[in-house]
Amino acid sequence: MRSALRNEGNSPDGKEISLDPGAQALAAELREDGIRGEVRFDRGSRALYATDYSIYRQVPIGVVLPQDTDDIVKTVAACRRHGAPILGRGCGTSPNGQCCNVAVVIDFSKYMRQIVELNPEKKIARVEPGVICDQLRDAAEEHDLTFAPNPATHAFCTLGGMIGNNSCGAYSVMGGQTIANIHEMEILLYDSTRMRVGETSEEELEQIIEEGGRRGEIYGKLRDLRNKYADLIRERYPQIPRRCSGYNLDQLLPENGFNVARALVGTESTCVTVLEATTRLIDSPQFRRTIAFGYKDRFDAGDHVKEIMAHGPIALEGFDHTLTDNMETKFALATDREALPEGGAWLLVEFGGDSEEEVEEHARAAKEALESDGKPVSAKLCDPGEETSVWAVRQAGVDYSNVPGTMETEGTWEDAAVPPEVLGDYLRDFDKLLNKYDYYCVYYGHFGQGCVHTRITFDLKTAEGLKKFRSFLFEAAELVVEYGGSIAGEYGEGQRAELLPIMFGDELVEAFREFKSIWDPQGKMNPGKVVDPYPLDANLRTGTDYNPPQVKTHFKFPEDRHSFVVATERCFGIGRCRKYSGTMCPSYMVTLEEKHTTRGRANLLFEMLQGEAITDGWRDEHIMESLDLCLACKGCKGECPVQTDIATYKAEFLSHYYEGRLRPVNAYALGLIHWWAKLVSQMPGVVNFFTQTPILRDAMKAAADIAPERSIPAFAPKTFKQWFRERGPRNLTKPPVILWPDTFNNHFHPETARAAVEVLEDAGYRVEVPEQHLCCGRPLYDFGMLNLAKRQLHQILEALGLYLREGVPIVGLEPSCVAVFRDELTNLFPNDEDARRLRSQTFVLSEFLEKEDYQPPKLERKAVVHGYCHHKAIMGIGDEQKVLERLGLDYELLDSGCCGMAGSWGYEKGEHYDVSMKAGERVLLPAVRGADKDALIVTDGFSCRSQITEATDRRALHLAQVIQMALHDGTGPAKDYPESEHLEARPSRPSLRDATLLGAGVALTGSALVWAATKVTT
Ligand SMILES: Cc1cc2nc3c(=O)[nH]c(=O)nc-3n(C[C@H](O)[C@H](O)[C@H](O)COP(=O)(O)OP(=O)(O)OC[C@H]3O[C@@H](n4cnc5c(N)ncnc54)[C@H](O)[C@@H]3O)c2cc1C
Ligand code: SF4
Ligand code: SF4
């Protein structure tokens, strides 16, 4: 007989992590069953799925990624045979712990993302559970249709998850919650019963019951349940636009058509698994206008909602100064603030229509009428640019509700909803409650439907804090019920269900229990959530026993109270790193794997410090595997709202992982490029002979673990520094500027640095170049060689000391090197004054030129521009754009994210090369291939230029070369392949002198490699 799985984690304090023999047998059986997808019961995968966007954490038994419905059916059957609980998972953005449990997690998001059918005539779509909300909305929009519910996570959340949580969003005003947009569902029960459910007439109901079988039994019990509780349901369910609390038993009432599909919406994996859903699509207004109203405060704004709703908007969202204050603290408001009218709180009201005139007239009339009642202090009918800005502020709500180190907030009381007509008064009383408990929060949300988001400064680490947390939640629930509202306005219940009796009373809570047991009599579907819930303060991610060890690190993490532990707490799970635009996260965009998201990596490092699921600390192979596909692009540092900085954590991790042991050969070949390049600068022809001659080249690549498909860049015959030394400085009486001779431009692309000299001299500067062999150490970070990196930085601080103290500016051409001085440097040496000077005095070329108000000559050409990841993340590319505009270029800035090369990462063979090419092929490489041949291709990163050279017939130029082009022949006609004249040719064969040095070179390089491999271990 097979053993039932132990289920220790389901006790209130249970954080089960061991893979007991039952779980091992289940994993083996799943594999034997021929699951086409993936079965992962290893510690790393379990750690990865231990949490969602909530305060809770439970390590699952294992994870299955099904490829098709058959896989799901087999998985559920095997779990039943072993008595293992299960739960479905989409993007894992659930706010109340309904997406973590000691269960087998079935993750639909990787493979099950097909829109099976989209029928514009019938206005329906059939979707698999892993389809992304925007995927469906975009497909529908091609027919001027839309799927109305759009949670703020619409770019990455799944339909399965939206059905699980009964999600909403701004356009629920127009089309209702998810529940109102589901026609039918195909479902699977824990006992393997499979059926299609939807609306059922009374005749059909009786017929189904008569037919008997498991389906008939279920329908019979549902009918009896309905009959037993119908009056109570009618009495106790609040009739408000946003009720997400409790099961939707009202959908079984005759007046609602005994809709079993809709009754199962919002059941959070506690009853059934959704295999497929048929959704409703509605007409999508093709013309839209937004009015932004400003109010004295959020209470006044709340008071005005009812009047505005009477004008029939398609969305009505609100927020107040608490959000804009936080955005300002994080320098994230920029010009968007200017688009908002005067006030301390705002309502954004969107109108929709079939023509521009219709919507314009509607919006103007509403504005006039609503202004005249004197409630708003200001009003603005936004133009398209302003519309983008004001909505960007609203959409940043969750992102800026938490400011690590300044205002650290937690979820759980985050989405209560009341009747919209009493919103102002509710907010007044809620404010009093918050003050009573001395809590603080940011306010934003779906004011039009009375739902306000409030992440609160709860203390979840001390006994006193938890007592206060519980007490507050109970009082807050009482308050919302007094106002006729709902505890959940859109986030679902999860573990918060302990509060449900306050809203529904014990009898209806018993009805929920009966409903669940009709579907899941064994109690194996997502146990402890919604029904018979764990206590609110059980299974916490932190809690009173949270006390991770303080580890000694190279980086000092000054913005995280000087603690790596605090840095790993930054990620709060919102899942934005699973989006498909921008830079974060290139490896996820290619693999669609949670373990290759920023969140997955942050969670694994968090788990490493807990020492439960991840037990090998800095030597853990699961973490290594996850970090290995991190391109260290810093996209997360730039785009994650809490600046989770995986590139830095990866460098730190690798430094410990390799402590006292050898790294792979490419770490020495590529990480130590500065030293190799220095050696080669005496005989570039010799090395080029090796790297550019077919058989030798292949041997070199194989020895250094470089992908055979890649070519090794040729060294320039003369380095930039050799050229500069020979030429000497000019503009001797002008102010000095140091041009940073980074390894890449110095040795491989000296023409870029020579162009920069010309530009800086044209801008009125005396260019100086450090004589010493210095390197910022960027390649060292990628391999975690942090001791060496620190040594390099010390040398730089010493070499530049005098210049730094005299305030001489330093201009870097390679954004990743500038990023070292602007970011890593002060993280390693937060208290070193010279380090701070270097940080504040170093600029990329465009920043420096803009600061100096330099006006280059015009270059009226077309250009396709790709921003380098580190440039975007650390410096921002606003100044780059300003310089391109000053040049008069007609340019397109690509949303190309990371080029995929990321330093030497994309050169490495195997998975790195594959992911690198897929990342490049996402946007950048097709855009370059498709660009007009007379257009310039512009990017400042050495690796991006290499990726373009490798995969297209174009060569990209650095901004310095573009300005040089303007200085030389700005007025000339645009030719095809305009870059060709600005790039230096490399000799393909060694000279006689070089050939005589060949033997010596081989010997030297060989011994150096051996030396490095044996000596350099940190
Ligand atoms: C930053 C942020 C903003 C948000 N804004 C909104 C908002 O504006 N409006 C809103 O409504 N919500 C919002 N949410 C909550 C959340 O994003 C939504 O509930 C979303 O729809 C969940 O989708 P998901 O794919 O992440 O689901 P998951 O979290 O993966 O799953 C949600 C629930 O559904 C269950 N489930 C998943 N797949 C299945 C299946 N096939 N069968 C049965 N059950 C299944 C899961 O077990 C879980 O209980 C927000 C969350 C975050 C982090
Ligand atoms: S890493 Fe950032 S974007 Fe990703 S889930 Fe965490 S907080 Fe959100
Ligand atoms: S550094 Fe880049 S690849 Fe790595 S986690 Fe961050 S966004 Fe993803």
Helix residue ranges per DSSP H, 125-200: 133-141, 159-165, 172-175
Confidence of residue 335 (pLDDT cuts 50, 70, 90): confident
Amino acid letter, residue 258: F
- CA 233 to CA 26: how far, in whole Å? 41
Beta bridge partners of 1016: none
Give nearest CA residue, ligand 2 atom 8: 574
- CA 494 to CA 94: how far, in whole Å? 8
Residue 812 CA from chain centroid, whole number: 29
The model's pLDDT over 941-956, given as tens digits with 9 standing for 90+, comes to: 999 999 999 999 999 9
Regarding predicted confidence, which is higher, 280 or 996? 280
**Does ligand 3 lie within 6 Å of residue 916's CB atom?**
no
pLDDT of 445 above 60: yes
Confidence of residue 329 (pLDDT cuts 50, 70, 90): confident
Contact (Cβ atoms closer than 8 angstroms) between residue 316 and residue 367: no
Averaged over 869-893, what is the pLDDT?
96
Contact (Cβ atoms closer than 8 angstroms) between residue 101 and residue 49: no
The pLDDT, as a whole number, for residue 22 is 85
Query: What spacing in Å lies between the alpha carbon of 177 and ligand 3's midpoint?
Result: 34
pLDDT of 1006 above 60: no
- CA 620 to CA 605: how far, in whole Å? 10
Helices 213-236 and 202-211, packing angle to 10 deg: 140
Ligand 1 pocket at CB < 6 A:
52-53, 87-95, 98-99, 108, 129, 151-153, 157-158, 160-162, 164-165, 167-169, 268-269, 273-274, 398, 490-491, 526, 574-575
Of 306, 265, 27, 237, nearest in space to 129 by CA: 265
Beta bridge partners of 936: 863
Nearest bound ligand to the CA of residue 577: 2
- DSSP per-residue codes, 876-897: -SHHHHHHHHHTT-EEEE----
The pLDDT, as a whole number, for residue 10 is 37
Helix residue ranges per DSSP H, 129-171: 133-141, 159-165
The model's pLDDT over 521-545, given as tens digits with 9 standing for 90+, comes to: 999 999 999 999 999 999 999 999 9
- CA 793 to CA 706: how far, in whole Å? 28
- DSSP per-residue codes, 768-806: E---S-----HHHHHTT-HHHHHHHHHHHHHHHHHHHHT
Contact (Cβ atoms closer than 8 angstroms) between residue 351 and residue 314: yes
Element (H, E) at 937: strand 936-938
Q: What is the largest CA-CA distance in the chain?
A: 100
Element (H, E) at 213: helix 213-236
The pLDDT, as a whole number, for residue 405 is 82
* Region of poorest pLDDT, from 552-556, 563-567, 710-714, 926-930: 710-714
**Buried b or exposed e, range 304-313, using 16+ CB within 10 angstroms:** bbbebbebeb
pLDDT of 1012 above 70: no
Residue 330 has a CB neighbour count (10 Å cut-off) of 16
Tokens of 96: 């109340």
The model's pLDDT over 239-287, given as tens digits with 9 standing for 90+, comes to: 999 999 999 999 999 999 999 999 999 999 999 999 999 999 999 999 9
pTM of the model: 0.93
* Residues in the chain, total: 1018
If you average pLDDT over every residue of the chain, what do you get?
92
**Does ligand 3 lie within 6 Å of residue 634's CB atom?**
yes
The pLDDT, as a whole number, for residue 896 is 96
Nearest bound ligand to the CA of residue 650: 3
Averaged over 301-322, what is the pLDDT?
96
* 98, 101, 185, 269: residue to mutate for ligand 1 pocket, most atoms within 8 A of CB: 269
Determine the 3-state secondary structure of 130 from DSSP: coil
Amino acid letter, residue 452: V
Backbone angles phi, psi at 534, to 5 degrees: -60, 155
Determine the 3-state secondary structure of 607 from DSSP: helix
The pLDDT, as a whole number, for residue 987 is 52
Query: What spacing in Å lies between the alpha carbon of 108 and ligand 1's midpoint?
Result: 13
pLDDT of 12 above 80: no
Contacts of 142 (CB under 8 A, 6+ apart): none
If phi > 0 it is left, if psi is from -120 to 50 it is alpha, else beta; for residue 551 that is beta
**Does ligand 2 lie within 6 Å of residue 602's CB atom?**
yes
Residue 908 CA from chain centroid, whole number: 25
CB-hemisphere CA count at 13 Å for 263? 28
Confidence of residue 703 (pLDDT cuts 50, 70, 90): confident
Q: What is the dihedral of CA 711, 712, 716, 720, to 10 degrees?
A: 120
CA angle, residues 881, 884, 890, in degrees to nearest 5: 105
Contacts of 163 (CB under 8 A, 6+ apart): 129, 178, 182, 185, 264, 265, 266, 274, 277
The model's pLDDT over 362-392, given as tens digits with 9 standing for 90+, comes to: 999 999 999 988 889 999 999 999 999 999 9
Tokens of 960: 């310095």
The pLDDT, as a whole number, for residue 851 is 97
Determine the 3-state secondary structure of 838 from DSSP: helix
Of 738, 745, 759, nearest in space to 715 by CA: 745
CA angle, residues 883, 886, 887, in degrees to nearest 5: 90
Provide the terminal-to-terminal Cα distance of the chain, rounded to the nearest Å: 52
Ligand 3 atom closest to 635 (CA): 7
Amino acid letter, residue 593: E
- CA 875 to CA 584: how far, in whole Å? 16
**Does ligand 2 lie within 6 Å of residue 585's CB atom?**
no
Tokens of 74: 């087999």
CA angle, residues 860, 865, 868, in degrees to nearest 5: 145
- CA 306 to CA 521: how far, in whole Å? 44
Amino acid letter, residue 519: W
Q: Locate tokens 């302990």: which residue? A: 498
Q: How far is CA 34 from CA 20, 107, 550, 734, 921, in A?
A: 22, 17, 44, 74, 33
Query: What spacing in Å lies between the alpha carbon of 330 and ligand 2's midpoint?
Result: 16
Averaged over 157-178, what is the pLDDT?
97
Q: State the pairing for strand pair 736-740/104-107.
A: unpaired
Residue 993 CA from chain centroid, whole number: 53
Of 951, 924, 919, nearest in space to 938 by CA: 924
The pLDDT, as a whole number, for residue 822 is 98
The pLDDT, as a whole number, for residue 689 is 76
The pLDDT, as a whole number, for residue 671 is 87
Averaged over 350-371, what is the pLDDT?
95
Contact (Cβ atoms closer than 8 angstroms) between residue 325 and residue 298: no
Confidence of residue 166 (pLDDT cuts 50, 70, 90): very high
Query: What spacing in Å lies between the alpha carbon of 545 and ligand 1's midpoint?
Result: 29
Contacts of 754 (CB under 8 A, 6+ apart): 720, 723
Tokens of 165: 């949580």
Element (H, E) at 278: strand 273-280
- CA 673 to CA 745: how far, in whole Å? 13
Element (H, E) at 740: strand 736-740
Contact (Cβ atoms closer than 8 angstroms) between residue 405 and residue 284: no
* 63, 89, 414: residue to mutate for ligand 1 pocket, most atoms within 8 A of CB: 89
Ligand 1 atom closest to 275 (CA): 41
Give nearest CA residue, ligand 3 atom 2: 633
**Does ligand 2 lie within 6 Å of residue 596's CB atom?**
no
Confidence of residue 413 (pLDDT cuts 50, 70, 90): very high
Q: What is the dihedral of CA 598, 603, 604, 607, to 10 degrees?
A: 170
* Region of poorest pLDDT, from 195-204, 904-913, 962-971: 962-971
**Does ligand 3 lie within 6 Å of residue 598's CB atom?**
yes
Classify burial at 96, counting beta carbons within 10 Å of its beta carbon; exposed 0-12, middle 13-18, buried 19 or more: buried
Residue 621 has a CB neighbour count (10 Å cut-off) of 14
The pLDDT, as a whole number, for residue 687 is 74
Contact (Cβ atoms closer than 8 angstroms) between residue 144 and residue 122: no
Tokens of 482: 């007094």
pLDDT of 3 above 90: no
Determine the 3-state secondary structure of 320 from DSSP: strand
Q: Locate tokens 């000019």: which residue? A: 730
Query: What spacing in Å lies between the alpha carbon of 634 and ligand 3's midpoint?
Result: 6
Query: What spacing in Å lies between the alpha carbon of 439 and ligand 1's midpoint?
Result: 27
Confidence of residue 337 (pLDDT cuts 50, 70, 90): confident
The pLDDT, as a whole number, for residue 986 is 58
Percent of the chain whose pLDDT exceeds 70: 94
- CA 603 to CA 601: how far, in whole Å? 5
Q: Is the peptide bond before 585 cis (omega within 30 degrees of 0)?
A: yes
The model's pLDDT over 26-79, given as tens digits with 9 standing for 90+, comes to: 999 999 989 999 999 999 999 999 999 999 999 999 999 999 999 999 999 999
Element (H, E) at 288: strand 287-295
The pLDDT, as a whole number, for residue 984 is 67
pLDDT of 679 above 90: no
DSSP conformational letter for 105:
E
Averaged over 711-726, what is the pLDDT?
92
Beta bridge partners of 441: 456
Ligand 2 atom closest to 602 (CA): 1
Sheet of 273-280: strand order equals 115-119, 124-127, 273-280, 182-188, 194-197
Averaged over 575-580, what is the pLDDT?
95
**Does ligand 2 lie within 6 Å of residue 600's CB atom?**
no
